[in-house]
């Protein structure tokens, strides 16, 4: 999530990224806030789309680079897995073993994206038929994996399989220019926009009346352990797909402009993701009054984004995670070849 020159940057992706990182922070604070009317509907509504869309966006932007995998994903995972576990033991007084096979809470995203990048060469093809078959296969596996109770948090395996279709879908959409093709075909564009909005609107009563277990939306539990079934997961997949189509077919081309504060935060989501967990753990333990009303949770989420979503925090993460070593290794390799 470190970025190069912004001269040719697609600001619409930054603005969408802002929406997604806000939903992540807001949902995490909802988990630890005082119960209020409608909290779980809002919570489930967010969880029905925010991580599939985030991973789709990651696949949309990904480029296979062994050095990037090491310096921007593996090292940050090791560093923050260590920091969060020590933080839990020393500050929160929670007994946690220092280990790296089971990600700490939200760090599953780093480990999962790391694995996706490692396996990307296996799926990297321009053959439309192979792309289609690959997506169908991983979608089927993501549905079947819910029947296996033994696959869960370890190495983030359950989430790896559950969310992999969105990664591949994003990667192939970018590779083939699918979204651009849809946008210039007005009839298809209109149909997709109408259908996606209809599904999103209908998802609210579905989530409310079906009493969909929130555990099922995490992607880390089997059907039996979450009280759900394969049809629930399939419907949530449809909801997630509707959000992806709505955001990347309709909203993307409307928001392709630099917006004050929003775009800047969208360009600096990495420090927000890595650091907001400390606030989510500390605030309910020491300042619970900040979470006793919906408007406070909303305001607090916005403050966290402003506080962490800037270049200064990005630089702090850059040096904390030793990402600067990538430049040194690149310079060394250039000097060696001379």
Residue 135 to residue 109: CA distance in whole angstroms = 20
Whether the predicted pLDDT of 198 surpasses 90: yes
Confidence of residue 162 (pLDDT cuts 50, 70, 90): very high
302-317: pLDDT as tens digits: 999 999 999 999 999 9
Whether the pLDDT of residue 151 is over 80: the answer is yes
Residue labelled with tokens 């596996």 = 141
Query: Greater confidence, 256 or 275?
Result: 275
Residue 335: the pLDDT is 58
Closest by CA position to 237, among listed 188, 306, 166, 180: 166
State the average pLDDT over residues 104-121. 96
Average pLDDT estimate for 29-35: 91
Q: In the predicted model, is pLDDT for residue 330 greater than 90? A: no
pLDDT at 325: 78
Q: Categorize the per-residue pLDDT at 128 as very low, low, confident or very high, splitting at 50, 70 and 90.
A: very high
pLDDT tens digit string along 175-194? Answer: 988 887 887 777 888 888 89
The predicted structure's pLDDT at residue 93: 87
CB 249 within 8 A of CB 189: yes
| Rg from Cα positions in the chain | 20
CA 95 – CA 75 distance, rounded (Å)? 24
Question: What average pLDDT score do residues 261-271 get?
Answer: 95
- Answer for the pair 263, 247: CB distance below 8 angstroms, yes or no: no
Q: What pLDDT does 206 receive?
A: 92
């Amino acid at each position: 999530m470190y970025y190069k020159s912004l001269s040719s940057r697609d600001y619409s992706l930054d603005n969408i990224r802002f929406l997604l990182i806000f939903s992540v922070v807001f949902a995490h604070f909802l988990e630890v806030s005082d119960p209020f009317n409608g909290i779980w509907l809002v919570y489930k509504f967010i969880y029905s789309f925010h991580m599939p869309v985030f991973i789709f966006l990651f696949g949309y932007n990904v480029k296979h680079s062994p050095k990037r995998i090491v310096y921007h994903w593996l090292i940050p995972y090791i560093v923050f897995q260590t920091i969060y576990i020590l933080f839990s033991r020393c500050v929160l007084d929670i007994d946690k073993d220092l280990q790296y096979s089971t990600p700490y809470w939200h760090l599953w995203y780093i480990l999962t994206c790391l694995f996706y990048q490692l396996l990307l060469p296996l799926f990297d093809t321009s053959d439309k038929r192979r792309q289609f078959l690959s997506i169908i296969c991983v979608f089927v596996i993501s549905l079947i994996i819910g029947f296996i109770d033994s696959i869960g948090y370890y190495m983030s395996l359950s989430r790896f399989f559950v969310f992999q279709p969105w990664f591949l879908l994003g990667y192939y959409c970018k590779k083939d220019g699918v979204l651009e093709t849809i946008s210039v075909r007005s009839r298809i564009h209109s149909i997709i926009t109408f259908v996606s909005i209809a599904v999103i609107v209908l998802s609210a009563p579905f989530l409310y009346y079906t009493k969909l277990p929130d555990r099922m939306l995490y992607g880390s539990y089997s059907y039996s352990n979450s009280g759900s079934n394969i049809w629930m997961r399939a419907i949530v997949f449809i909801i997630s797909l509707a959000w992806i189509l709505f955001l990347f077919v309709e909203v993307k081309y409307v928001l392709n402009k630099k917006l004050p504060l929003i775009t800047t935060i969208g360009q600096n989501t990495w420090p927000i993701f890595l650091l907001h967990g400390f606030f989510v753990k500390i605030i309910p333990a020491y300042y619970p009054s900040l979470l006793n009303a919906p408007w406070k949770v909303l305001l607090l989420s916005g403050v966290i984004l402003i506080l962490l979503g800037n270049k200064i925090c990005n630089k702090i993460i850059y040096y904390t995670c030793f990402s600067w070593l990538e430049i040194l290794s690149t310079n060394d390799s250039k000097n060696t070849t001379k």
